[in-house]
Amino acid sequence: MLKKLVIPIKDKNYPIIIGFNIFKKNEIFSFFNEKKRYILITNKILLTIFKNTILKYFKQNKINIEIITIPNGENYKSLKEVNYIITKLLKKNCGRDSILIAFGGGVIGDITGFVASIYQRGIEFIQIPTTLLAQVDASVGGKTGVNHILGKNMIGTFWQPKFVIIDLFFLSTLPKNELFSGFAEVIKYSIIFDKKFFLWLEKNFINLINLHTKYLLYCVKKCCKFKSKIISIDEKEENCRVVLNFGHTYGHAIESYFNYKKYLHGEAISIGMVIASNTSEILGFLKKKTVCRIISLLKKFNLPVIPPKNMPLDSYFFYMKKDKKNIFGNIRLILPYKIGLVKSHDKVTKEIIFSSIKNSLKN
């Protein structure tokens, strides 16, 4: 059964379609137009896995798909790859009537959306996320971009997709560490918005890890609803949307320091949420037992909770000072007060930040 949500963005509502084995059902192709030109952006690994399955369904439904592949990995989310894709589009004589399809995880979605937003001053694109992290977070909300050597997602735009297709079938093809990485964002939503959802995750983590469709469908739809509500209020992160960055200021610093090679995004965010929770405890906002409970849930999903021992404290501060969420040069942190409530702080001292990291090393 297909589930459908509508993202109520001002002047541009768009649907999210969620289901299992969606592409075997012809009804999904009613969202495509056989007279349009579609260019699918993916990586070589996904193309190898799905070329003779998913793509054949497009052909059967008379949807012409051209393919551009880029290398796999966060370290390839760069202006170099943007230039490569744009060059391919130009050589193919793609015009404003062309529609890009992001077929992959968060890296593919971010870079495809960014190219769509700047190619010929903006063309349409579609999100087909294949990782859990992309399905519950990266594919929804219109954030696009690439990394810079000095910081993550420093170059980008807000550019909403035409629609999003979430097929839970793709999750069965993920390596386990990729699957667990996605659950970091799921846990993030529960800590920010909903204690009942947090309790549900504590109770049902085994069903989720084992990819039981009923539980996954509920989980993914719940997260998309959380994000839909917040971006409908604050599309371009000018106000309340910033709460979605819980754990990301610390986590992005870790990713940047290791050049996006040592940790998956969700793994770095898991550690970032632990450090942020410890920051909140040191400041007297969060109870110790709640910090322990957050750490326990992250561990249930096999996520790391201890900061890298070989990352100097000053390196955290170096990258955190360059975070795009900062205000007037002050580092802005999203800190939990309890499960279901977080608040923004921009006057946390360097000493508190360092103490939080040190405390987290003891987990």
- Give CA–CA dist 202/286, Å, rounded: 19
Do 183 and 219 contact (CB within 8 A), yes or no?
Answer: no
Residue 293 annotated among the catalytic residues of the structure: no
- Read out DSSP for 280-307? HHHTTSS-HHHHHHHHHHHHHTT---S-
Token digits of residue 267? 């793994």
Which member of 188, 252, 332, 345 is catalytic?
252
CA distance linking residue 52 with residue 92, whole number of Å: 23
Distance separating alpha carbons of residues 111 and 348, to the nearest angstrom: 33
**332 tagged catalytic:** no
Catalytic residue among 88, 143, 152, 345: 143
| 227 included as an active-site residue | yes
Q: Which residues contact 294 (CB under 8 A, 6 or more apart)?
A: 187, 191, 273, 274, 277, 336, 339
Q: Is 52 a catalytic residue?
A: no
Please tell me which residue in 227, 235, 267, 359 is annotated as part of the active site: 227
185 is catalytic: yes
148 is catalytic: no
**The one catalytic residue among 124, 185, 255, 267:** 185
Q: Are 155 and 146 in contact (CB under 8 A)?
A: yes
Does 212 qualify as catalytic in the annotation? no
Catalytic residue among 77, 152, 265, 332: 265
Annotated catalytic residue 37: no
Of 88, 222, 248, 332, catalytic: 248
> Which of the residues 77, 162, 241, 345 is marked catalytic?
241
- 345 assigned to active site: no
Q: Which of 43, 245, 278, 359 is catalytic?
A: 245
DSSP 132: H
Rounded to whole angstroms, what are the CA distances from 303 to 85, 221, 264, 268, 306? Answer: 33, 22, 10, 9, 10
Pairing of strands 151-155, 98-104: unpaired
Residue of 237, 255, 267, 281 with catalytic role: 237
Question: Tokens 């959802």, residue?
Answer: 197
The question of whether 13 is a catalytic residue gets the answer no
Q: Which residues are catalytic?
A: 121, 143, 185, 227, 237, 241, 245, 248, 252, 265
